[in-house]
Amino acid sequence: MRRFYFVLLVMISSNVLAQKGSLRMEVSKKALSIEKKVIDWRRDLHEHPELGNGEVRTAGIVAKHLESLGIEVQTGVAKTGVVGILKGGKPGPVVALRADMDGLPVTERGNLPFASKVRTTYNGQEVGVMHACGHDTHVAILMGVAEVLASIRKDIPGTVKFIFQPAEEGAPHGEEGGAELMVKEGVLENPKVEVIFGLHINSQTPVGDITYRPGGVMAAVNDLKITVTGRQAHGAYPWSSVDPVVISAQIVNNLQTIVSRNLNVTENPGVVTIGAINGGVRSNIIPEKVEMLGTIRNFTKEDEAMFIERVKTIATKTAESGGGTAEVKIPYSNHYPVTFNDIPLTEKMLPSLKATAGADHVKLKPPVTGAEDFSFYQEKVPGLFIFLGGMPKGGDPLKAPSHHTPDFFIDESGFTLGVNALSNLALDYMNLKK
């Protein structure tokens, strides 16, 4: 009798595996069959990039495609965002997949036949517009995922929410936008999202590879402004001044001790950068004020709080010691949380990534001091953000043009892996829940 149950159990569990395996095969077959379509979408989007909160054409293409697949579509979410809801044939959790849609004020170089010739005026300067971060590839890949999953909808045990998000690189000055606004407008509700997955193409990771990191993978950012006020005087009589230039120089130096003396560098990195320092108009006048702009980057909430406190203390106390005052604003105009990959979720989904890309092609990534507004979703629900190789095989990561530069280049042969990876993350998560 016991043996009978054992055999039955083996039969049932191998049946479940076979089912999952066959679904994976379906996904892979379908993804391969639409490879050319995905590349064509990407080329079209690449040729017609749009800046944050202006992704009108892009959103139109996305909405039309989702509608053609019979997916329920919402438009105008967080300005130009598009949300698609695909209800599977079986009950189960709601899994969100996200792609960002915006380009950058960068003038494209190089001679791709689909290079962008779009130009605009940005902050008073005439400049080109380019998909210099690869968000065109994210949109095309997620459109591909929608087509793959719609083709097997009857076998999907749950609901997939496709989030096409505007303005990841930041909204125009004075406007709200991006993931923060999408969350505010309720993108994670109705139906309520249980987990979220997203990817970023990477121009310095070889095609075929996926990289990931549990926990803090991209930094929290706070920009800052320090205004030092002293007493103006003739440059020939400094003793009658309170010199904000000297105080500012001391502040910049003292801020370096946060990373070197306050941060436990064995646990996580951190950055303090002063990127702008402005004060004074001529050689022999000690000015009244100096303004500094900077950025701080962290990987945990605790470090972030510590950095903010230390910058404030160092700036105000250094100014005080010189007889002046310092006013500190953090964040000044911009804050992104840590892009934090939920650790149990990352562990749970690692086998899915390895089964998709091959175990040798799934690699641990060091923390990145850049930032991502995917972090706003992860503040609300567990999420996993991975990186997809976009560098031609055999390329040198140190020489491959980096993101946000005019020569930024992506090898299109990696897109199908992206389509498979996101499709399988959604399906495997749902199947693991059963």
Instruction: Specify the stretch interacting with Zn ion by CB under 5 A; choose among 20-28, 127-135, 141-149, 422-430.
Output: 127-135
Residue 403 Cβ vs Zn ion, minimum distance, rounded to whole Å = 5
From the list 50, 108, 168, 336, the catalytic residue is 336
The residue sitting closest to Zn ion, measured at its beta carbon, is 133
**Helix/strand/coil percent split, the chain, to 5:** 40, 25, 35
Of 133 and 410, the one with the shorter C-beta distance to Zn ion is 133
332 among known catalytic residues: no
- 416: closest CA among 389, 385, 384? 389
**Crossing angle of helices 135-151 and 415-433, rounded to 10°:** 50
Instruction: Confirm if 330 and 308 have CB atoms less than 8 A apart.
Output: yes
Residue 201 Cβ vs Zn ion, minimum distance, rounded to whole Å = 8
From the list 180, 377, 412, 429, the catalytic residue is 412
Under rule CB under 5 A, residue 133 binds Zn ion: yes
**Rg of the chain taking only CA atoms, in angstroms:** 25
Instruction: Specify the stretch interacting with Zn ion by CB under 5 A; choose among 33-41, 132-140, 142-150, 308-316.
Output: 132-140
Residue 67 Cβ vs Zn ion, minimum distance, rounded to whole Å = 27
* Phi, psi (degrees; rounded to nearest 5) at 375: -55, -30
Residues 355-394 that bind Zn ion (CB under 5 A): none
Of 102 and 428, the one with the shorter C-beta distance to Zn ion is 102
Residue 198 Cβ vs Zn ion, minimum distance, rounded to whole Å = 10
**Helix, strand or coil, per DSSP, at residue 168:** coil
DSSP H or E stretch at residue 97:
strand 90-100
Of 84 and 198, the one with the shorter C-beta distance to Zn ion is 198
Of 133 and 219, the one with the shorter C-beta distance to Zn ion is 133
Of 133 and 207, the one with the shorter C-beta distance to Zn ion is 133
What whole-number distance in Å separates Cα of residue 100 and Cα of residue 77?
Answer: 13
336 among known catalytic residues: yes
Token pair in block for residue 123: 């902050």
Instruction: Confirm if 1 and 8 have CB atoms less than 8 A apart.
Output: no
What whole-number distance in Å separates Cα of residue 251 and Cα of residue 254?
Answer: 5
**Crossing angle of helices 56-68 and 35-47, rounded to 10°:** 160
Under rule CB under 5 A, residue 217 binds Zn ion: no
Of 348 and 365, the one with the shorter C-beta distance to Zn ion is 365
Helices (H) and strands (E) in the chain, counts: 10, 19
Instruction: Specify the stretch interacting with Zn ion by CB under 5 A; choose among 68-76, 129-137, 235-243, 389-397.
Output: 129-137
Under rule CB under 5 A, residue 199 binds Zn ion: no
Residue 167 Cβ vs Zn ion, minimum distance, rounded to whole Å = 11
Residue 357 Cβ vs Zn ion, minimum distance, rounded to whole Å = 21
- What residues form DSSP beta bridges with 226? 292, 328
**Residues near Zn ion (CB under 5 A):** 133
Residues taking part in catalysis: 336, 412
